[in-house]
Amino acid sequence: MTEPLRLSKRMSELGLCSRREADAWIERGWVRVDGKVVSELGSKVLPSQRITVERQASAEQSKRVTVLINKPVGYVSGQAEDGYTPAVALIKAENRWNEDKAPEQFHPTQLRSLVPAGRLDIDSIGLLVLTQDGRIAKQLIGEDTAVEKEYLVRVRYLKPPGKLPDAELKRLNHGLSLDGKALLPAKVRWQNDDQLSFTLREGKKRQIRRMCELVGLKVLGLKRVRIGRVKLGDLPVGQWRYLGPDEQF
C-alpha cells in the first residue's frame, strides 16, 4: 500500500513550488486536492491524488525574480560573515548590466527573500544565482539535482616534474573521495597549459580546491562559467542581470 505524504512535500516533489511556498499557499486556501480546498498545515495526500493551485498562487509566483551575478573575489554567497559582504549587496540599479534585455524593472522589494541557489566561495568568481523562486532553488540545490556546473580553474602542479600525470587527471575525473564519501564522476580536461575545465553534478564545500589538493595541484584562480544551460557569457565582474524569460537551467 502506498504511504500518504505531507501535502507540502508532494507539491515540492511535483515541482509546483518549494515546501515553504506550499505551506504559505495551503494557509491561504490556494491549494486543492481532488478539487477540494485543503487549508490545514500538515495535511497528507496519496501520490495518486490530483493537486491543483489557484490562479493567485501562479500569479504570485510569476512575479518572483531570479538574478545572475558575476561574483567578485571577497564577497560571500549567502549571509554576511566575519565582516565580509554578501553578494546580494551588489544587486542595485547602478550595478545592473546595461546589456540586460530582460523586461523587469528593478525595485528594492525584489531583494526580499532573494537567496543564493548554490555556493561560490569567497576566493572564487563567476556565475552565482540568487532567486525568489523555490522551484529554481530546488532544481539547482535539491538532493536529486542533475544540473551540471562548469568551472575554469587555473592551477600549478607542486610536484616534480611540474606537470600533472595522466593518471592523476583520471582520478580527478573519477576516483577521489571527500569526507569519507566517493565523489560522483566529473568531467575534467585541460583547456590550456595551466587551466583545467571542471564540470560537476554536486557541490561539496570547496570541492574543486580540495580535489586539486589530493592530486598535488594548487588552485590559483577559480571561475564558474555555466550552470546547466545558463552561461556567464560577457556579464562583467560585479554586475548582474535577470534570468531571461526564454532561459532555463
Same domain, residue pair 51 and 87 = no
Nearest CA-CA partner of 187 in 173, 176, 174: 173
Same domain, residue pair 221 and 208 = yes
Q: Are 245 and 64 in contact (CB under 8 A)?
A: no
pLDDT at 57: 82
Give catalytic residue positions: 121
* Angstrom distance (rounded) from CA 11 to CA 8: 5
Determine, yes or no, domain membership for 247: no
pLDDT at 23: 92
Mean pLDDT by 10 residues, the chain (249 residues): 86 82 91 94 92 85 87 89 87 96 88 88 95 85 84 94 92 95 96 96 91 96 97 97 92
Non-local CB neighbours of 51 within 8 Å, separated by 6+ positions: 7, 10, 11, 14, 16, 31, 32, 33, 45
Determine, yes or no, domain membership for 84: yes
List Cα–Cα distances, 203 to 138, 155, 232, in angstroms: 14, 19, 18
> Burial letters for 195-234: b for 16+ Cβ neighbours within 10 Å, e otherwise?
ebbbebeebeebbbbebbeebebebeebbbbbbbebebee
Same domain, residue pair 133 and 235 = yes
Residue 159 DSSP SS3:
coil
Same domain, residue pair 73 and 12 = no
Q: What's the domain range around 86?
A: 66-144+230-242
Provide the grid cell at 4.
Answer: 500518504
Provide the grid cell at 183.
Answer: 565523489
CATH of the domain at 216: 3.30.2350.10
pTM of the model: 0.80
Residue with C-alpha cell 522551484? 135
Same domain, residue pair 54 and 98 = no
Q: Are 163 and 100 in contact (CB under 8 A)?
A: no
Same domain, residue pair 153 and 91 = no
Same domain, residue pair 26 and 135 = no
Same domain, residue pair 162 and 124 = no
